[in-house]
Amino acid sequence: MNILLLGPPGAGKGTQGVMLAERLGLPKFATGDLLRDAVKRQTPLGLEAKAVMEAGHLVSDDIILGVVGDELAKPEAEGGVIFDGVVRTIPQAEGLASILAASGRTLDHVVFFDVPDEEILDRLEKRRSSEGRADDDPAAVKIRLETYRRQTAPVLAWYQDRQTVHHVDGIGAVDQIFERLCQAVGC
């Protein structure tokens, strides 16, 4: 079962994605985690992505789709994947659809986490103090939210034109949100 999680930065995709992956016994694929690991290990991908990520901008669609193609070619992805933060632009949505279609796969569920802006800002500020992510500093957060509105928010409409999108209320206790998510995707 392939499940795509959409929503603004700080909407809970990462936290809920881990829980969903565990419940369904599927791998979770988060481009943000993969890129952060590449930056830490100073691989060519990491060296290319570092400055762009720290400033809060998006890594290029070509790089992301290359990484997505590699990930989906792995045997452990055959039974399905939880995609977290992977589709952030319409070209990425189109590219992911083609990569999946080439091996007879589709997205079984698309989930959008609804969280108001004030809550997002509050969560990112807390995450900055607890995790110390460079891209959670106020200047980078501002750019990330603008980038989200300009490039990622239109992806929601792109999916809504093509398939059902489950809207999950992302406010509340983590377990409560997970209940809602599970009801939406059937787990």
Our CB check for ligand AMP shows the closer of 35 and 165 to be 35
CB 185 within 8 A of CB 166: yes
- Candidates 51-59, 70-78, 98-106, 162-170: pick the segment binding ligand AMP (CB under 6 A): 51-59
Residue with CB nearest ligand AMP?
Answer: 32
- Candidates 57-65, 75-83, 94-102, 168-176: pick the segment binding ligand AMP (CB under 6 A): 57-65
Q: What angle do CA 165, 73, 37 make, to 5 degrees?
A: 85
50 binds ligand AMP (CB under 6 A): no
Query: Looking only at residues 7 through 26 of this chain, which bind ligand AMP when binding is defined by CB under 6 A?
Result: 9
90-102 helix and 61-72 helix, angle to the nearest 10 degrees: 30
CB of 19 to ligand AMP, least distance (A): 17
Out of 32, 80, 95, 170, name the contact with ligand AMP by CB under 6 A. Answer: 32
**How many residues of this chain bind ligand AMP (CB under 6 A)?**
17
CB of 34 to ligand AMP, least distance (A): 8
Strand (E) or helix (H) holding 128: helix 117-131
Strand (E) or helix (H) holding 23: helix 13-24
For residues 103 to 142, the per-residue mask of contacts with ligand AMP, x marking binding by CB under 6 A and - elsewhere, is --------------------------------x-------
Contacts with 108 (C-beta within 8 Å, 6 or more apart), sequence order: 1, 2, 3, 80, 185
Contacts with 21 (C-beta within 8 Å, 6 or more apart), sequence order: 27, 28, 82
Our CB check for ligand AMP shows the closer of 26 and 145 to be 145
Backbone phi and psi for residue 145, each to the nearest 5 degrees, phi listed first: -70, -40
Q: What angle do CA 120, 126, 130 make, to 5 degrees?
A: 140
Which parts of this chain interact with ligand AMP (CB under 6 A)?
9, 31-32, 35, 52-53, 56-59, 64, 85-86, 88, 92, 135, 144
